[in-house]
Amino acid sequence: MAINNTTLQIKFRQRLNKLASNDYDNIECWQIIEAFNKAQIEWCRRNLHGNNMYKEGDEASKRRIDDLQPLLTRQILTGVVNTDHFEGNNFPNNYLEYKRISTNATSECCATERSMTVYLAEEANVDLIMRDPLKRPDFEWGETFCTMQNNTVRIYHRDFTIASPTLTYYRRPRMIEIAGCTDPYTQAVPATDTTCEFKDDVVELIIDEAVAIIAGDIESVNQAIRGSQSAEKNN
């Protein structure tokens, strides 16, 4: 049975209570939502980059692939063709992490589309790559390169035309919402629940991380209060 938001809140409060502190008695629903959604992003980034206890990135193991696959998304890029590159104009708003860019190409001598290998390069190296006969775009070799800067994708070409460019990326995870819980920043009140899309074992890990975030935030506030009180006593 999937973990719904009611169960999530119960688990969250239970784990906070295990810290044996009265500081957590008045945690509100919006604080749980905020901490959980922040923890989701942190968990995703850590596992995508291999910054976890197993030092595994997104495809280092079948388990990691299974955990992250709900976020893997493809988007066909639209845009304009310039002298030496295609420039996309529909970068996804929910983008989190790059996976790959794929494209086909045609040329004057070959009207049939062929698949190209596209590698990601740094914007600062574009001129150098374009001058290098071993690295610059080449239809015969079936290779080209792309850059990403300021949410803009550029795919470079020389003797061919870009066709059907596609960005494969990891999107941001769906943010949870609790029905009837007022967002203190926007005053929005969701009418229905939005649950976490990850598997239950991943949700359990994210709850642990969210609890640590809340505990750390509260302890920081308490330390500030204690410091202020100490300063007042010394004056």
Share of the chain above pLDDT 90, in %: 71
Each residue of 37-74: pLDDT tens digit?
999 999 999 988 865 445 555 555 677 788 899 999 99
Provide the pLDDT for residue 16: 87
pLDDT at 226 over 80: no
For 10-76, list the strands marked E by DSSP.
72-76
Provide the pLDDT for residue 61: 61
The whole-angstrom separation of Cα 152 and Cα 191 is: 36
The whole-angstrom separation of Cα 150 and Cα 193 is: 34
Segment 70-95 mean pLDDT: 96
pTM: 0.83
DSSP-assigned letter for residue 177: B
Segment 222-230 mean pLDDT: 41
Q: Give 231's pLDDT tier (boundaries 50, 70, 90).
A: very low
